[in-house]
Amino acid sequence: MITIYNYLYVRAKIGGFLTPPNYKELIDKYAQEGWRFVAMIPAVFGNYGQMKEVDLVFERQE
């Protein structure tokens, strides 16, 4: 039997000096919709190499 998964990529902010992160809320939101969090991929970097945004990867069995 072959298991097929659907994947969802959601951009999230890591946060900064005045900006709170939103990745925890996004993980909770998509988990309630049946998605499973599987990875965080760096997507946007600041001037000094710090991560500003990431792509959250979720999967759900089809």
Q: What is the pLDDT of residues 16-46, one digit of tens each?
A: 777 788 889 999 999 999 999 999 999 999 8
CB 51 within 8 A of CB 38: no
Q: Provide the pLDDT for residue 9.
A: 98
DSSP H or E run through 26: helix 23-32
Split into its structural domains, the chain has a count of 1
What pLDDT shows up at residue 16? 73
| Average pLDDT over the chain, rounded to an integer | 92
Output the six-digit token pair for 19. Answer: 């900006």
Q: Nearest to residue 30, comparing CAs of 38, 21, 20?
A: 38
Say what the pTM is. Answer: 0.85
Range of the domain at 41: 5-61
Phi, psi of 23 (to 5 degrees): -70, -35
Q: What pLDDT score was predicted for residue 21? A: 84
